[in-house]
Chain A
Amino acid sequence: MFPFSLYAIAGILTGVHLYLLLGLTAYAPAANLLEWIALAGSLCLLAAAGISLFKPRAAARVALIACLLIWTFYAPATVKTLQTKVLRHRVVTEHSVPGEH
């Protein structure tokens, strides 16, 4: 039951999140291919949840592949977000403490 719940919740959460992101592409130049790949990964994760009730070991392998597909979008997106936050922090610091530069 644990793997089923974990894969199902992760698949649903990432699937809904990616679906919402794809819905925002009306305001962006074009939908990112990685978003579609990750969405396919979410569906695979849901499939892995179903398989886990019959063959837990095989389901884990399917889930791992699905997670890697999802990470193709989330990993670069997370790095980019962190970079932006660090850069913004530096800019704010430089503007806030001009005497130190």
Chain B
Amino acid sequence: MHVAPETIYSVLTYLSLLFLVLATAYAALVSFSSRPDGETASWTFPGPGKGSLRKAVGVAGIALAVGLASWIAFALRGSSRPASRFLIPEGYIGWVKVEFGVSGAPPLPVEGGKCVVRFSPSGFLKTSTPEQSMGERDSYYYYSDSGTHALADRTSGAASLIWGQFHSQAFGSSGKHTYEQFFVGTEQQFKEQVNPTNQAEGNAARGGAVNK
């Protein structure tokens, strides 16, 4: 039986709220009530747990802490790649797409410690540079003959001109293909997009960017 991810997420949301309400009510009840004299342990004022349970929880707690520390260390190591500088043709509105690890394509140049990803007017770029994940330290610019100017990114909130950044992989007869894509434009323009995957290629097929 197939259950849609949206259904699982909805159930998770309602269960989270339900248990949060219960936990809040119970914690408040126990915190602000006083135990009557002589009353034995009850569900409202429970006594300490059994020794074996304490040991099990202690071991589980240590395992959880070690797991969390390893995960954070792994995540930090993964984010130590050089930041990227994305150069987008002036006025370009739409999806841009980078394909990594393409044999025969030029590698991404590194300037000032940053990988420079310069998109053509089609919004599509192939590079032999291996797969790279985009990150918080990346920066985005429009370029033209007169120079470059920075684009508002995710840190600018609703004023951002960078949306829907995601990583994807495709497997074909020529092997694995790795892509990074994001949308350049306002939030409204982003929401109007229906078919993100083929937009950049569609622009390329039309022979140019969607300009303002």
Q: Which residues of A contact B (CB under 8 A)?
A: 1-4, 6-7, 9-10, 13-14, 16-17, 20, 26-30, 45-46, 48-50, 52-57, 60-61, 63-64, 67-68, 70-71, 74, 78
Contacts and interface: CB of A to CB of B under 8 A. Distances in A.
Given A27-B164, A53-B57, A10 B23 contact: yes
A14 B9 contact: no
Contact of A3 (B26, B53, B57, B58): B26
Contact of B20 (A53, A57, A74): A74
Contact of B27 (A4, A50, A67): A67
A13 B9 CA distance: 11
Contacts of B172: none
A64 B19 contact: no
B46 A3 contact: yes
Contact of A6 (B19, B54, B154): B19
B147 interface: no
Contact of A17 (B12, B48, B154, B156): B12
Contacts of A20: 9, 12
B86 interface: no
B43 interface: yes
B27 to A, nearest CB: 4
B160 interface: yes
A60 B47 contact: no
Given A50-B61, A55-B48, A60-B31, A10 B20 contact: yes
